[in-house]
């Protein structure tokens, strides 16, 4: 079975952007629990209605819900997956090993980025509601038409949880719950720290060098 990749990092550290580059350059498969949850909200499914408020507040959805969604959307036997936004706590890290990786080797990349850079990136982040392309109103603004230049169809949106108050809560939750996950993998010896405060391409090159 192919090696699996786990992307850890605070909100705004560039996990999603980096995952897209890996899909583009190396043909990896990308699974983002945040994207899967937002899709459910958008569809208005029972699950989406259940998690909508939790996402708006920047809190974590229950492990069971996230894990079921993840399990239904990836199969490590079919290639190299990038797990983006999962695991978020120690319980999820153990579940991932036990239930999904099933002995398959993994490398964990931790996208390390100072708090103030994360806040700045999140407040200026915009996304395409259709294809998920990521823009930044300061460093890489979307077209003035408000329509995505990549899929040429989706509307550019400001994520509800990218508002300042929720951002601070998400960063707090990240520090408290995902911080120990970083330590967990560090102790196991399969964690690579990447300086994610630099440009996207530079960060991507650092990741590729470690593969």
What residues line the site for ligand AMP (CB under 6 A)?
A: 11, 33-34, 37, 54-55, 58-61, 66, 85-86, 88, 92, 161, 170
The three-class DSSP label of residue 182 is: helix
Contact 197, 114 (CB under 8 A): yes
**Measured in whole angstroms, how far is the alpha carbon of residue 173 from the centre of its chain?**
15
State in angstroms the smallest separation of the CB of 144 from ligand AMP. 26
Which residue, 92 or 136, has its beta carbon nearer to ligand AMP?
92
Which residue, 52 or 200, has its beta carbon nearer to ligand AMP?
52
The verdict on whether 159 is a catalytic residue reads yes
The verdict on whether 126 is a catalytic residue reads no
Which residue, 68 or 205, has its beta carbon nearer to ligand AMP?
68
State in angstroms the smallest separation of the CB of 177 from ligand AMP. 9
Catalytic residue among 21, 38, 121, 125: 125
The verdict on whether 15 is a catalytic residue reads yes
Contact 54, 88 (CB under 8 A): no
Catalytic residue among 15, 21, 38, 126: 15
Rounded CA separation 126/133 (Å): 9
Nearest residue to ligand AMP by CB is: 34
The verdict on whether 98 is a catalytic residue reads no
For tokens 């290639």, what's the residue?
A: 79
State in angstroms the smallest separation of the CB of 180 from ligand AMP. 14
State in angstroms the smallest separation of the CB of 16 from ligand AMP. 7
The three-class DSSP label of residue 134 is: strand
Catalytic residue among 29, 38, 88, 126: 88
Single out the residue of 34, 15, 179, 29 nearest to residue 109, CA to CA.
15
Rounded CA separation 31/83 (Å): 5
How far lies 195's CA from each of 15, 83, 157, 179, in Å? 12, 19, 28, 16
Which residue, 80 or 89, has its beta carbon nearer to ligand AMP?
89
The verdict on whether 88 is a catalytic residue reads yes
């Amino acid at each position: 079975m192919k090696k699996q990749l786990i992307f850890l990092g605070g909100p705004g550290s560039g996990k999603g952007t980096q995952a897209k580059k890996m899909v583009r350059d190396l043909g990896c498969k990308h699974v983002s629990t945040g994207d899967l949850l937002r899709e459910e909200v958008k569809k208005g499914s029972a699950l989406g209605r259940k998690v909508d408020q939790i996402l708006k507040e920047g809190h974590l959805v229950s492990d069971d819900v996230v894990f079921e969604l993840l399990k239904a959307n990836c199969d490590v036997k079919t290639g190299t997956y990038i797990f983006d936004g999962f695991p978020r706590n120690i319980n999820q890290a153990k579940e991932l090993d036990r239930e999904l990786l099933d002995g398959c080797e993994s490398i964990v990349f931790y996208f390390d980025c100072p708090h103030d850079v994360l806040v700045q990136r999140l407040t200026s982040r915009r996304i395409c509601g259709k294809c998920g392309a990521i823009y930044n109103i300061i460093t890489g603004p979307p077209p003035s038409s408000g329509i995505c230049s990549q899929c040429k169809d989706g509307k550019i949106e400001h994520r509800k949880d990218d508002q300042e108050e929720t951002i601070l809560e998400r960063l707090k939750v990240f520090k408290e719950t995902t911080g120990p996950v970083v330590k967990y993998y560090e102790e196991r010896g399969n964690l690579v720290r990447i300086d994610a405060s630099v440009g996207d391409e530079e960060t991507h090159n650092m990741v590729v060098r470690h593969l």
